[in-house]
A and B are shown apart, each in its own frame.
Chain A
Amino acid sequence: MTIKNPLTGASTTQEGLLDTGYDGLILLPWSTYMELGLRKCELPRNLWSVGVSVTGEEFPLRTAHVEVEIDAVRRLALAETYHDNALRLIGRGFIESHVTILDGPKKLLRVKVEERQPKLRTLAGEEARRMRDKRHSRLSGLK
């Protein structure tokens, strides 16, 4: 995935790990957050979410606006981090708003481009219409 600072254009392309156990959109390593200058594009601290660790410890999640690109999908999102974090995660919040395909053998998550969806729906609709017409013509032939 490519993460970009939407104001300065600074970007980095690195592999992200899909984690359905993380509720947020994107979790970045602390070092990446700082390198991209995301402090200059940050939410006020009273709007940061609170992270809860496996042991129940709670800590603030520093949050900034980023532009995320995964496959051909590009969108604005909120990226979070906490001090010394080294994980780069794609969370449930991100995949909930996209059609995704989990390519098991390749261990890859593919995000479907939204523009293609109406086309697929149209094709499916046309197929259904063709089947319906065929059935109708067969039934009218029986009469």
Chain B
Amino acid sequence: MKKQGIYVKGVNEELYREIKAQSARLGKTVSEVVTTAMQDWLRRKGSEEEREFLENNLAYEAMEEDILARHQGKWVAIEKGRIVVVADSIDQLKKSLGDVDHRIVLKVGAVRPTKKYIGGSSLRRIQS
């Protein structure tokens, strides 16, 4: 893995001193400790997103028939496993949205899944 030095603005000085002291006690460098902390944060963030992704999709799949029957042509947003807003346009959704890691947004009845061929002319061009 490529390594590089980075400068991070706005780091709490006391926190940095504590990290430096603890790292020295453990015989590690600040860089090793910070890298581990960043990896942990990303892992946790990833699982939170995954959890919300599953929660929203399972909720949609359970409510799909009802949504199709009641909200045809409307925009629907699902957050944390529940419908948070039904609106006439995507712009109107904005007002009622929360701070989440995953959200389902759809115009009811407007999308049908299909099979799509990928790797046509452009891929051939890139490969040649």
A contact set with B: CB distance below 8 Å: 6-7, 17-24, 27, 39-54, 58, 61, 63-65, 76, 78, 80, 82, 87, 89, 91
A86 CB to closest chain B CB (Å) equals: 9
Given A21-B120, A21-B121, verify A40-B113 contact (CB < 8 Å): no
Given A41-B105, A50-B113, A50-B115, verify A6-B90 contact (CB < 8 Å): yes
Kindly count the residue-residue contacts between A and B in the assembled complex, taking CB atoms under 8 Å apart: 110
Chain B residue at smallest Cβ distance from A24: B116
Contact with A along B103-122 (1 / 0, CB 8 A): 11110000111111111111
List residues of chain B with CB within 8 A of the CB of A50: 113-116
B contact set with A: CB distance below 8 Å: 49, 53, 56-57, 60-61, 64, 78, 90-91, 93-94, 97, 100-106, 111-124, 126
Inter-chain contact B103/A51, CB cutoff 8 Å: no
Given A47-B113, A65-B90, A78-B111, verify A40-B100 contact (CB < 8 Å): yes
Given A7-B94, A21-B122, verify A42-B105 contact (CB < 8 Å): yes
Inter-chain contact A53/B118, CB cutoff 8 Å: yes
Inter-chain contact B90/A76, CB cutoff 8 Å: yes
> When chains A and B are docked, how far (Å) is the Cα of A23 from the Cα of B115?
9
